[in-house]
Amino acid sequence: MDKIAFFDTKPYDKIYFDALKEQYGIEIEYFESKLSPRTAVMAKGTRAVCAFVNDDIGKETISALKENGIDMIAMRCAGYNNVDLSAADGVISVARVPEYSTHAIAEHALALLLTLVRKTHKAYIRTRDSNFSLNGFVGFDLHGKTLGVIGTGKIGATFIEIGRGLGMNVIAYDPFPSLGYLEYVPLEELFARSDVISLHCPLTSSTYHIINDYSINQMKDKVIILNTSRGALIDTEALINGIKSGKIGGAGLDVYEEESEFFYEDLSESILKDDVLSRLIMMPNVLITSHQAFLTREALECIAHTTLGNLRSFFDGEPLVNEIKKRK
Ligand code: NAI
């Protein structure tokens, strides 16, 4: 059987990959460590590795993988901003899962939004303590409000449907408009008109810190910002300043720009070493989840199928339909 090394393994990964590995004829050696220049050697004896969003797949890791005989990186995620594609070009194949469940991510964005607006996270804690007071729980109707979506690809389009279902007026910005029925507006106009802004664009040099001091200044007072894409789309210091000044009414964040050291780990017994993250967590109108938008049964099953399918094609020497960079 063809063998792979699987990095940053969590119990839920094993359930879905173990259920399908024999069907694809692939043996998996699981490692809890993240893939990095130091851990790449653990893959020796295999020809491919499976990696995830917070693995360090820079130049050094890629050359360490090559030195140990690895020819393929199978990303079990859609985003690949953590892979140095220039270093991979012509050296190692990189494939990904371009789509698994757009609903998983869009519905998580909805969960963040409804929780922030109706404060159900606080109500849950209050009623468990037999405190049935409603003070401080006044929310607002989403119906009739304006939702601004940045990035109208697969996930953005699904979130737009959800927003329309709620009776929101949806506007969007995307340099490549694709939804004929939708009102696309320049970014500045989206900032000025939206009551809720949701980020669904990839992290690139042009979207890095797309939410910053300047853009926040252009926004409506009490705007709600949702980020289920990538942390570095938001300048976190600017976000904190916007929340402190009262300009931003709430932030629902599934991602954080410095998340790789913290997210997915149980650090409940230690002191959090990131002051910025600590400040965000303490803010009453900020809701942080640990990059979990993808975590549904449907999405995990689809991720396992596509990733193992990508690996099977690689081992069989077939064209890699989900390849990001070709190995020459
Ligand atoms: P997609 O590729 O279908 O859509 C991305 C859209 O962003 C495209 O329409 C593209 O034209 C647009 N775009 C590109 N540059 C832009 C810019 N400068 N400003 C505005 N829009 C721009 O991607 P998909 O599948 O919808 O995923 C979106 C993002 O969601 C991914 O890049 C990934 O970072 C994130 N994601 C997060 C997950 C989570 O668990 N939190 C899981 C899966 C994806």
Q: What is the pLDDT of residue 325?
A: 64
Ligand 1 atom 42: residue of nearest CA: 294
- My answer on whether 68 and 179 are in the same domain is no
Predicted pLDDT of residue 261: 87
Nearest atom in ligand 1 to the alpha carbon of residue 228 is 41
Domain check: are 205 and 66 in the same one? Answer: no
Co-location of 31 and 179 in the same domain: no
Compute the distance between CA of residue 75 and CA of residue 324 in angstroms, rounded to an integer: 10
Domain tally, the chain = 2
Kindly report the protein residue whose alpha carbon is nearest to atom 21 of ligand 1. Answer: 151
Question: What is the separation of C-alpha 69 from the centre of its chain, rounded to a whole number of angstroms?
Answer: 30
If asked whether residues 225 and 111 sit together in one domain, one would say: yes
Write the CATH number for 253.
Answer: 3.40.50.720
Residues 196 and 267 in one domain: yes
Task: Let me know whether 74 and 218 are in one domain.
Answer: no
Do 93 and 72 touch, CB atoms closer than 8 A? Answer: yes
Atom of ligand 1 nearest to the CA of 230: 34
Write down the pTM of the prediction: 0.92
Going from the Cα of 229 to the center of ligand 1, the distance in angstroms, rounded, reads 7
Same domain, 8 and 32: yes
46 shares its domain with 121: no
Pocket of ligand 1 (CB under 6 A): 78-79, 105, 150-156, 173-176, 200-204, 206-207, 228-230, 254-255, 291, 293-294
The reply to whether 126 and 245 lie within a common domain is: yes
- The pLDDT of residue 260 is 85
Residues 146 and 273 in one domain: yes
Q: Give 153 Cα–ligand 1 centroid separation in angstroms.
A: 6
The confidence score (pLDDT) of residue 264 equals: 86
Distances in whole angstroms, Cα of residue 164 to Cα of each of 104, 140, 159, 229: 17, 17, 9, 20
> Taking Cα atoms as reference points, which of 138, 176, 126 lies closest to residue 154?
176
Cα 25 to ligand 1 centroid, rounded to whole Å: 32
Q: Which atom of ligand 1 has the smallest separation from the CA of 178? A: 9
User: What is the chain's pLDDT, residue by residue, as a tens digit (328 residues)?
Assistant: 999 999 999 999 999 999 999 999 999 999 999 999 999 999 999 999 999 999 999 999 999 999 999 999 999 999 899 999 999 999 999 999 999 999 999 999 999 999 999 999 999 999 999 999 999 999 999 999 999 999 999 999 999 999 999 999 999 999 999 999 999 999 999 999 999 999 999 999 999 999 999 999 999 999 999 999 999 999 999 999 999 999 999 999 999 999 888 998 899 999 999 999 999 999 999 999 999 999 999 999 999 999 999 999 999 999 999 999 654 4
Q: Which domain holds residue 271?
A: 102-288
Sheet-wide strand order for 323-325? 26-30, 2-6, 48-51, 72-75, 93-95, 323-325
- The pLDDT value recorded for residue 70 is 97
Same domain, 160 and 254: yes
Distance from Cα 221 to the centre of ligand 1, integer Å: 26
Question: Catalytic residue numbers?
Answer: 230, 259, 291
Q: Which residues are bridge partners to 277 per DSSP?
A: none
Mark whether 187 and 267 lie in a shared domain.
yes
Q: Do the bridges between strand 48-51 and strand 169-173 make them parallel or antiparallel, or are there none, so unpaired?
A: unpaired
- The Å distance, Cα 27 to ligand 1 centre, comes to 32
How far, in Å, CA of 272 to CA of 73, rounded? 32
Ligand 1 pocket mutation pick from 80, 155, 185 by most atoms within 8 angstroms of CB: 155
Of all protein residues, the one whose alpha carbon is nearest to atom 39 of ligand 1 is: 293
* C-alpha neighbours within 13 Å on the C-beta side of residue 10: 14
| H or E segment to which residue 170 belongs | strand 169-173
